[in-house]
Structure 1
Amino acid sequence: MARRTVFLMPVYNPARDVLLRTVDSLLGQTEAADIVIVDDGSLQPVSEVLGSREGIIVLRLARNGGITAALNYGLEHIVSLGYEYVARMDCGDISAPERVAKQQAYMDSHPATDLVGAFADIVDERGNHLFFEGTPGGRAAIGRKLYDNAAFKHPTFFFRTACVRKFGVYSADYPHAEDYEFMRRLFERGEIDCLHDVLLVYEKNADGISSRNRRTQLRSRLRVQLGYFQPAKPAAYAGVVRSLVTLLVPARIWTRLSRLYWDRQDKRVAVNSLPM
């Protein structure tokens, strides 16, 4: 095995054109990486949709078990094969060509870092830019953001397989917020950072898994916040209050407020956008 990094992407009943668009962005990396796709019990096997493509391993679950089960099944396989790094990916999103090269180089030069994220270009279903999402400023800034929510998008995660052995896999106790808990756990016990580069195009879809499971996700987020609660930190209280308010506010209104927040961040922070 010559490649050090592998993409991990769980899928369930993906549309062929959407799947191929995402896979093509992974195959087009300037630093080659293998791809592990976990077919979470799709009605049509993903291997049939993809056809034969070099560098792609498709693992198929007999029945649909949800994203956390699919992620952990893929992680166990990846760790057993001896890869050094895992790059998360979701079907429908697009990785910038230099994503693996930049994140792998960063991890090589920062051996104490367990996980690094990046900025994402959030677009609507027609590909129109909405805002950039990510957290600059290093550990202190990420820590402040984590009281509130995830510091960067899950599909930008790039982490060492060694940290899976040290800190464990994704927890099944926080449905639809497994990434937030994973990030909090690694922050508390290890080191995480966020590149200022825009390395992902993230499609915000009204029918996406986060939108469909919004209330479950928010309840799980609240449980993560309470589980990692620090009474001496005012930001911890603010994060809990925000989650409670979000549960009460209709999704369409909160989406507008969220966009206003990130638009303001765009004006404050210069990010390096890569050509897609």
Structure 2
Amino acid sequence: MTPPKVSVVMSVLDGEDYLREAIDSVLAQSFADFEFVIVDNASTDRTPEIIASLDDPRIVTVTNTEMLNLSQSLNKGMATACGDYVARLDADDVAMPGRLEKQAALLDSHPDVVLVASAATEFSGADDFPGTAPLIPPQDHDALMTALARDSILSHSSIMFRREAALAVGGYDEAYAYCMDYLLYFRLAERHRLAALADPLVAIRMHAGQITHRPEWEARRHREAATAFRDILARGGLAPDARRGLRRYLILTSLRMAVLSLRAAAPGKAACWFSRALATGPFLFISVVASSACRRLRRA
């Protein structure tokens, strides 16, 4: 049996509210040569029933007997996948009908590109779908990497990448529960080129149940981001503009951790994070703080 061109990989944990809409958006794609690998990450709601009710030969299911972090769960999905390309989609997001077709066409026509992302909209429900005007990422590799080093401008749900290239850099780093996509981008970029499409090919659902919006996870997310940025910088391989941008991002993240530590009545930890921000580069630190202060004054 000939393997499919694309494997869509989704991990879902207690996703009963939005899972069916996400699944339907994949099954309705204009591109036909794909399989859909759904990893049930030990859900305790109706998610297993929803998956079991699906009657489509393109769907391949994987069931985790215990909950894993997202990196681990996605790696299980990739290990099951057979496609040349892997497309990501979260279980609460929606893929536009031409998403797989357009991204697969770019990878087919650009053998030097190993990952392609796209613009994305944000929406909260049926009333505002597909949502806001998208933030359009740079399409050129160098400009894209410089922008990525300054901010997390790509939606994880928007990416498609060459499976073998991702496996060659170790797949998703299982030490990370939040920044695994960011690390994958930069590790792939050390060896290959990345690209993005200006078309908004996914709609990202914003809702209160998202882990990334829960206050109790904020400190963990920033702490992990700081570790990821240091990891990327230590590996080298970045162009000077991207390296400077990532150092700025690391300073801002360290300062956010200092503020969170003060709010948690932990002045010792706050001082440690402040020192880390300063140690990243004293002159750059001053530039970052001055720029932030100017932005606040303009908004006042």
Classify the TM-score, shorter chain: 0.7 to 0.9
Which among 211, 215, 221 is matched to residue 217 of structure 1?
221
1:228 aligns with 2:232: yes
The structure-2 alpha-carbon separation of the partners of 1:104 and 1:35, relative to structure 1 and needing over 3 Å to count, comes to: same
CA contact (8 A) 2:18 2:91 kept: yes
1:240 aligns with 2:250: yes
Aligned position for 1:95: 95
Alignment of 1:1-276 (within 5 A): 1=2, 3-15=4-16, 17-32=17-32, 33-44=34-45, 46-50=47-51, 51-54=53-56, 55-78=58-81, 82-125=82-125, 128=128, 129-212=131-214, 213-229=217-233, 233-247=243-257
The letter of the residue matching 1:243 is T
CA contact (8 A) 1:149 1:221 kept: no
Deviations 1:161-213 (A, max 9, x none): 11123212100222211111111111122211111110000012232022233
Q: Distance in 2 between matches of 1:11 and 1:201?
A: 17
- SS of residue matched to 2:73: helix
Of structures 1 and 2, the larger Rg is shown by 2
Deviation at 1:243, TM superposition (A): 1.6
Q: Which moved more, 1:131-140 or 1:166-175?
A: 131-140
Q: Which structure would you say has the larger RCO, counting Cα contacts within 8 Å and 6 or more residues apart?
A: 1
Structure 2's unaligned 5+ residue stretches are 261-294, 296-300
CA contact (8 A) 1:142 1:151 kept: no
Percent identity of equivalent pairs: 24
The letter of the residue matching 1:167 is V
RMSD: 2.2
CA contact (8 A) 1:123 1:131 kept: no
CA contact (8 A) 1:5 1:84 kept: yes
Give the number of aligned pairs. 247
Q: Distance in 2 between matches of 1:244 and 1:130?
A: 30
- SS of residue matched to 1:155: helix
The letter of the residue matching 1:221 is A
Deviation at 1:148, TM superposition (A): 2.5
Structure 1's unaligned 5+ residue stretches are 251-260, 262-276
More helix by share: 2
The structure-2 alpha-carbon separation of the partners of 1:241 and 1:200, relative to structure 1 and needing over 3 Å to count, comes to: same
